[in-house]
Amino acid sequence: MNQPPVALYSDPEGVEMTEAVALLRDAGFRVLVEDLRSEAELIDRVAAAQPAALLVTYLPITEAVLSADASLGIVSCSSVGFDHVDLAAAERHGVWVCNVPDAATEEVASSALAMALALVRHVPFLDRHVREGGWQYDATGMPRRLSEVTLGVVGMGRIGRRLAGLAAGVFGRVVGCDPFVDGAGWPAELPRVELDRCLRESHVISLHLPLTPQTRGMIDAAALARMGPGAFLVNVSRGGLIDEEALVAALDSGHLAGAGLDVTEPEPPPAANPLRRHPRVLITPHAAWLSEPANEAYVMRQAENVAAWRRDGRPRTPVNHPRPLRAPGRQVQAG
């Protein structure tokens, strides 16, 4: 007796999934929805269910996870980032990996802009001053005039380009930096500078890069030292881009005037992490992407990637191109 291939949701975090599950069932899958909390739980469930497709949110997809399932053909992430997936191991196992690159472009870009504006105009610092009992308009120093501020956008993917467009009419100058984007993909109206110059000349740096071995820790003590005195740093991408100890030191010394962070490493940050309570930090709980349309798009496009793989042999938005070791979602013989 033939059984349909299994599509396993590992950690969907309680989102509305009715339409996505129906889409997968229509594509020929038997859908399992779990609420797994650790790599060990995931390995056990994958070994038992032998899914053809694994739909993941935050759980790490490691060599051990991939080795537990001889049937696995695709890992579909419900996020732009895919740094929680071991891509090299996926290649060895012939497993496709895909992401959702554009569901929240507007939300993340506008959140970065909001953080940058709030920092430059001292909004979170003045708010804290009033909540602590003060009422002095210059208690946090002199905010800058936006028309005299340069915004440096590091990373020219969808979100970085959107931020640069939004900010062009707000800041006096916007420059971009991305060593991984060629000239053909560069916005014609945006000045392109090298990272060193971007750090030196920008009053606000906003990070929009994926977390890879090449970008991990790129904003370290040396990079922070190259930023001008009184500059601000915004990160709505991945916490691992920044050396957090070096960031705290730069804030404590006064070299940086502040930071806006929607991401940390790890997440959530431990209770003792000084970024949680630092007076010069505006911090939010990885919420820059959030809106009802974005939430729906993430869930549906994650499922659409799996349905496309089942139908066409490849997902819509892959981040790798493995040599598949097994046919997409092919029916298996019941034991």
Nearest to 249 by CA among 288, 218, 286, 280: 280
Q: How many CB atoms lie within 10 A of CB 14?
A: 7
Catalytic residue among 121, 192, 286, 326: 286
The answer to whether the Cα torsion of 261, 273, 61, 242 is positive or negative is: positive
Residue with tokens 């005299």: 148
Nearest to 294 by CA among 85, 100, 114: 100
Query: What one-letter code names the amino acid at 118?
Result: A
> Is residue 203 among the annotated active site residues?
no
Q: What is the H or E stretch that residue 215 is in?
A: none
What are the E-state strand segments in 209-270?
Answer: 231-235, 256-261
Catalytic residue among 45, 208, 238, 280: 238
Q: How far is CA 151 from CA 13, 154, 189, 215, in A?
A: 35, 10, 15, 20
Q: Please list the residues that pair with 97 across neighbouring strands.
A: 75
Task: Tell me the DSSP string of 131-156.
Answer: HTT---TTTT--PPPGGG-EEEEE--
Query: What one-letter code names the amino acid at 196?
Result: D
Catalytic residue among 267, 277, 321, 330: 267
Q: Please list the residues that pair with 54 across neighbouring strands.
A: 8, 75
CB 242 within 8 A of CB 263: no
Q: Rounded to whole angstroms, how far apart are CA atoms 22 and 127?
A: 46
Q: How many CB atoms lie within 10 A of CB 222?
A: 11
CB 291 within 8 A of CB 104: yes
Residue with tokens 């505006």: 282
Nearest to 151 by CA among 174, 172, 170: 174
> Is residue 286 among the annotated active site residues?
yes
> Is residue 39 among the annotated active site residues?
no
Q: Which positions are annotated as active-site residues?
A: 238, 267, 286
